[in-house]
Amino acid sequence: MAMDHFKEEVVVKHNNTLNRIVYYLSWIIIIAGALFAAMMLGTLTTNFHWMNLVFIVVSGGVAAYTYFFHDRLLTEYEYTFTNGALDFAEVYNNKKRKSLGSLNVRNVESFGKVTSPNFQRYLNMPGIKRMNWFLNREAELYYFYFTKDTDKKMIIFEPSEEMVDYIKQYIPRGVYQE
């Protein structure tokens, strides 16, 4: 009986201190903006001025925008490898999950470390769409180069050595670039 190859990884930013500080500051902006808009709304009912309305809209808009996008400050990537299929997802603050796509590694034209000379060759090709699905620039990064519907695409990500070993078992011969 054949053994299934399954590996799931979550990539988190190694130095997350600044992102956490900005995340907590965003809560201050949300609360302050909402309170300011509420106070200005109270003055608008007694004394109408267009500038007060502008302040309400701007401060309320900043609070709402910050509320809806502040979870993106704490982003993680999730890679799931199952028998040659690699699924990518972006996770925001462990609350929201956005699927980025799926890739059958048998269909890639090139796979290897970003330090390989082939990476630069593919990266400098005209019309290539690059997808950076990694968080740590200092990590050992890998790339996939493939063509889908005549579009040239490249995924750059940071898998573990165990996942790289699984990928090597499923990619066609000659695709892995040292």
pLDDT (tens digit, 9 = 90+) per residue, 104-133?
A: 999 999 999 999 988 999 988 899 999 999
Domain ranges of the chain: 6-13+74-177, 17-72
Nearest of 103, 127, 104, 123 to residue 113 by alpha carbon = 123
Nearest of 1, 47, 3 to residue 169 by alpha carbon = 3
Residue with tokens 């996942």: 163
Angle separating helix axes 17-46 and 50-69, nearest 10 degrees:
150
pTM, to two decimals: 0.83
3-state secondary structure of 15: coil
Helices within 47-160 (DSSP H only): 50-69, 117-123
Quote the CA–CA distance of 149 and 101 in Å, as a whole number: 15
Q: Please name the fold of domain 6-13+74-177.
A: PH-domain like (2.30.29)
Is the confidence at residue 2, as pLDDT, over 70? Answer: no
Q: What pLDDT is recorded for position 12?
A: 92
Is the confidence at residue 44, as pLDDT, over 80? Answer: no
Q: What pLDDT is recorded for position 53?
A: 87
Is the confidence at residue 1, as pLDDT, over 70? Answer: no
Q: Which stretch of 10-14, 33-37, 49-53 has the lowest confidence by average pLDDT?
A: 49-53
